[in-house]
Amino acid sequence: MKIGDIVVADGTVQYDLDATPLGYAPGTVLNQEEAESCCDRNIADRLYQCAKDSVTTQQVYRGIVASGNGFVPSKETSERIVKEFDALAVEMEGRAVGAVCVSCKIPFGVLRTMSDNADGTASENYNEFCESAAKTSIQIIREYLAS
């Protein structure tokens, strides 16, 4: 992913949770059957279409979003997460939202606009691109709510 690219999640995983000693697959939130929380297909389809319709300069993707408890410290860590979880994006909130929604049987979706490269350079990039990433996400959500 590049800064400004958009990912609509098909599902979310927790990349920094390791309960494998208890018999869980890597990334599985305790007391949930699957490592991946699947997003509602209808919500994801609509978010994806709204993103494609409302932005012209950014690339829009669909796939797995991996969540963790901090900024990714290096390109090597990012590459490991992508390989292990087949993730398109790394962030800090989506899996927590997904875990709660799955537990409560509430359909959910996750939209991410990249504000940094998840390669240890967030301190250089995040502040510069956070506002534009937020504006892009707001634009897409407005389109989604109007559809």
Residue carrying the six token digits 């494609």: 52
Q: What is the pTM of this model?
A: 0.86
Q: Number of folded domains in the chain?
A: 1
Per-residue DSSP letter, 40:
P
Asked whether residue 56 is domain-assigned, the answer is: yes
- Per the prediction, the chain carries an average pLDDT of 87
Question: For a pLDDT cut of 90, what percent of the chain falls above it?
Answer: 43
Per-residue DSSP letter, 25:
P
pLDDT tens profile 58-90: 899 999 999 998 878 888 988 999 999 999 999
Give residues with Cβ within 8 angstroms of 3, minimum separation 6: 114, 115, 116, 117, 125, 129, 133
Helix then strand then coil, % of the chain, to nearest 5: 45, 20, 40
Asked whether residue 125 is domain-assigned, the answer is: yes
Give me the phi and psi of 9, to 5 degrees please. -80, 135
| DSSP states of 59-98 | -EEEEEEEE-SS----HHHHHHHHHHH-EEEEESSHHHHH
On the question of pLDDT at 117 being above 80, the answer is no
Which pLDDT does position 60 carry in this prediction?
Answer: 97
Asked whether residue 114 is domain-assigned, the answer is: yes
Give the domain range for residue 135. Answer: 6-140
Asked whether residue 30 is domain-assigned, the answer is: yes
Asked whether residue 1 is domain-assigned, the answer is: no
Asked whether residue 146 is domain-assigned, the answer is: no
Any idea what the CATH number is for the domain that residue 107 is in? 3.40.50.1580
